[in-house]
Amino acid sequence: MKKRVPRSLLLFLCFSLLFSQLLWTGAAPAQTTGKVQNVILLIPDGMSVDGTTLARWYNGGTPLAMDEMACGLVKTYSSDAAIADSAPAGSAFATGYKSHTGYVATLPEVADMPGLDPIKDEDRNKPVATILEAAKLSGKATGIISTSEIMHATPADFTSHSPSRKNYDDLSEQQVYNGIDVVLGAGWDFLEGTKRDDQTDLISVIKDKGYDYVTTPQELQASMSDKIWGLFAPEALSYDMDRNPAEQPGLAQMTQKAIEVLSRDKDGFFLMVEGSKVDWAAHANDPVGIISDILAFDQAVKVSLDFAKKNQNTVVISVTDHGNGGLTIGDTGTNSTYDKEPLSTFISPLKKATLTGEGLESKLNGDRSNVVEVMSQYYGINDLTADEIQAIKQAEAGSLNYTVGPMISKRAHLGWTTGGHTGEDVVLYEYAPNKVERLTGVIENTDVAKHMEEVMGLNLNNANKKLFVDADAAFEQIGATTELKDTGNNNLVLVVTKGETTLELPVNTNIAKINGETVELEGVIVHSSNRTFVPQAAVNLIQ
């Protein structure tokens, strides 16, 4: 005979369950639960499908680390153009919004591509929160790695905000004050006060903030700090084929170190890794540079994959921001022989090169009278024409890859359609543990940001509300007045006054000074197109 549960007990249990659910609902965060602690996003800037195919053949047909992760295609167009610039393309990954050429994590003035909603007047040129900033707000460790200057378009997209990717002074200052745990790459020239328009010595600021500032691979390896800024060249790093390992770490080495440091955080981490100069080589139609840096990038992918497979709480995504160059294996010289050409037709000429076109420049003497010898020794080219010799002699400093890249391409029967970006869909690569469903099919580049947001349990909308409030409107609403002052060398400070209270907010920093007392904010102050945006916490200081 079954025992009956007393009705009073049933009512009590139901009430308890309902009450506990109400308590939980009230206490739950506005963000999703999240499925993993860590995301590593790797971006091989400007990498085309033919580039990966060529790199694989060059490597003897050995599969790339990326190959097992391939799962879909990504649309790359920007808010108002079919072919994207790196700044809005990277911003789409970082923020979940399409934007305009040159715009770094900032909404465009126009969004008129098919399927896009028009931009509201109040949202034009407004900074928007990045996945890195949202991760930081949630307590996660964050890092960026780049083989270009770290304030270049793609790394800037995740760490700073401006309608102009060329505004290195603003972008780099925001990066220094944005609380990133690990920054590895190049570009110390753009942080030295004597070389900046604003005369601000950002290297001193980095050190004062407690970072371990390192400039050699040995110092990087030896660092035990949880906060590292590593810059290994005055501007961009060398192509991997040209790199001196005693002076510059490789991309895989930097990725390994960053993961080692960031994974100490019990809350997890977000890391963005860019192989920047795949894009630069494609602009120059330099296949040797492309192969060099795709293979180096793929080593960084392997480091990330190895960690993720062991950790089982990490998603790894690899995706380029756009195509570049229109590289083809086969050119007009193979119109009638394409299916009869052995692999050696395309690969053997490339195997003879031991430097990229950029690295080759250092081997030429002052008057470039040794062109024939240098091209023979380092490129295996012994049939230079008189026009080719003259072209090498006349090439501008820093642009020799634009001259010799097409020369070796011709001998390897590699075609190019442009020296600019291209508008095709690009390959999406993702590794995820079993608890996460990978992105598949043909997706928008903005979906990458939304996917990362979901799997880490972040909320980009909430981050936007916390980080980017229109200062004039917000302070006026609470009865305060604002004035933007230039304290010299275009160092702008927003001064807010209410009664006896004065609040000073230096633009591009996370600093607030209220009646002389310094407070650190959770985000940076951004001045964009005649408007200043501040974290909500800055407004709260004066209420």
Structure tokens at 336: 């009638």
pTM of the model as a whole: 0.93
Q: How many CA atoms lie within 13 A of 513 on its CB side?
A: 10
388 phi/psi in degrees, rounded to 5: -70, -40
pLDDT for 33 equals 64
Question: Would you give the DSSP letter of residue 478?
Answer: T
Q: How far is CA 356 from CA 15, 51, 148, 248, 360, in A?
A: 72, 15, 16, 16, 6
Name the β-bridge partners of 73: 427, 442
Are 280 and 392 within 8 A, CB to CB?
Answer: no
The helix (run of H) or strand (run of E) holding residue 520 is strand 517-520
In this structure, what token pair is assigned to residue 531? 């408007």
Provide DSSP, 306-363: HHHHHHSSEEEEEE-S-EETT-EEB-GGGTTTTTT--HHHHHHHHHT--S-HHHHGGG
- Res 543: pLDDT: 75
CATH fold, domain 38-327+421-429+442-455, is Alkaline Phosphatase, subunit A (3.40.720)
Listed in order, the ranges of the chain carrying CATH 3.30.457.10 are 468-542
Q: How far is CA 91 from CA 86, 159, 361, in A?
A: 8, 10, 34
Q: Are 268 and 456 in contact (CB under 8 A)?
A: yes
Q: Which two tokens stand for residue 30?
A: 């506005």
CA separation, residue 234 to residues 272, 273, 372, 524 (Å): 21, 19, 31, 25
CA–CA gap between residue 390 and residue 203 (Å, rounded) = 43
Q: Whole-angstrom Cα distance, residue 408 to residue 379?
A: 8
Q: How far, in Å, CA of 353 to CA of 177, rounded?
A: 42
189 is in an annotated binding site: no
The residue type found at 182 is V
Would you state the structure tokens that stand for residue 399, as one six-digit string?
């642009």
- Alpha-carbon distance of 345 to 347, in angstroms, equals 6
Every domain range in the chain assigned CATH 3.40.720.10: 38-327+421-429+442-455
Residue 45 known to bind ligand: yes
Residue 211 and residue 184 in contact, taking contact as beta carbons nearer than 8 Å: no
Calpha distance 467→220 (Å, rounded):
32
pLDDT in single tens digits along all 543 residues of the chain: 333 444 443 344 343 433 333 333 333 333 446 899 999 999 999 999 999 999 999 999 999 999 999 999 999 999 999 999 999 999 999 999 999 999 999 999 999 999 999 999 999 999 999 999 999 999 999 999 999 999 999 999 999 999 999 999 999 999 999 999 999 999 999 999 999 999 999 999 999 999 999 999 999 999 999 999 999 999 999 999 999 999 999 999 999 999 999 999 999 999 999 999 999 999 999 999 999 999 999 999 999 999 999 999 999 999 999 999 999 999 999 999 999 999 999 999 999 999 999 999 999 999 999 999 999 999 999 999 999 999 999 999 999 999 999 999 999 999 999 999 999 999 999 999 999 999 999 999 999 999 999 999 999 999 999 999 999 999 999 999 999 999 989 899 999 999 999 999 999 999 999 998 999 999 999 999 999 999 999 999 987
The Cα–Cα gap between 314 and 310 comes to 9
Contact 131, 460 (CB under 8 A): yes
**Residues in contact with 541: Cβ distance below 8 Å, sequence separation at least 6, in sequence order:** 503, 512, 514, 519
- Among 78, 79, 86, 304, the active-site one is 86
Please state, in angstroms and rounded to a whole number, the distance separating the CA atoms of residues 343 and 412. 10
Which residue in this structure is represented by tokens 């034009």?
A: 124
146 among known catalytic residues: no
Distance CA 540, CA 543 (A): 5
274 annotated ligand-binding residue: yes
For residue 237, what are the contacts with CB-CB under 8 A and spacing of at least 6? 147, 148, 185, 186, 243, 248, 277
Distance (Å, whole) CA 333 – CA 137: 56
Centre a 10 Å sphere on the Cβ of residue 169 and count the other Cβ atoms it contains.
23
The two beta strands, 441-444 and 70-75, are: parallel
Is the CB of residue 159 less than 8 Å from the CB of residue 132? yes
Domain 468-542: top CATH class: alpha beta
The response to whether 413 counts as a known ligand-binding position is no
Strands, E assignment, 364-440: 414-415, 421-422, 426-431
Task: Answer yes or no: is 421 a known binding residue.
Answer: yes
Tell me the sheet residues that pair with 421.
324
Supply the DSSP symbol for 257.
H
